[in-house]
Structure 1
Amino acid sequence: MKVELEADKCVASGQCVLAAMDVFDQDDDGVAVLLEQEIGDELLDDVKEAVAVCPAAAIRLVEQ
């Protein structure tokens, strides 16, 4: 699976980092940063949670 992040939509809530800290981080302004674009099954549930809790709907999963 591939993770896509629209950083310009990000509202810096940090929910994605709490849900999937191996995939997301935040820059100095709190805007989400994608650490891993390609994820395996071991991170899929965490990223699904991040997608669900993102208040700006800035994250999506794309099947390859």
Structure 2
Amino acid sequence: MPTLRWLTRDEDERIAERTPYRLLEEVPELSYGDRGTINMLIQGDNLDALKALLPYYAGQVKCIY
């Protein structure tokens, strides 16, 4: 499987491991459409968002863009 490599990857991975879990909070007044949908728009820091999604989607995501 292909892997992404960059100069500070090891340090970035250590930072990601130390970053605490964040709870996502729904903002009802910004919601749109059917409440039963699985789609989400998450505003905020990428690392915080990914850490919050990890328990639900670990091993299921092929690409994040």
* TM-score, length-scaled by structure 2: 0.31
Q: Which structure: greater strand fraction?
A: 1
Larger radius of gyration: 2
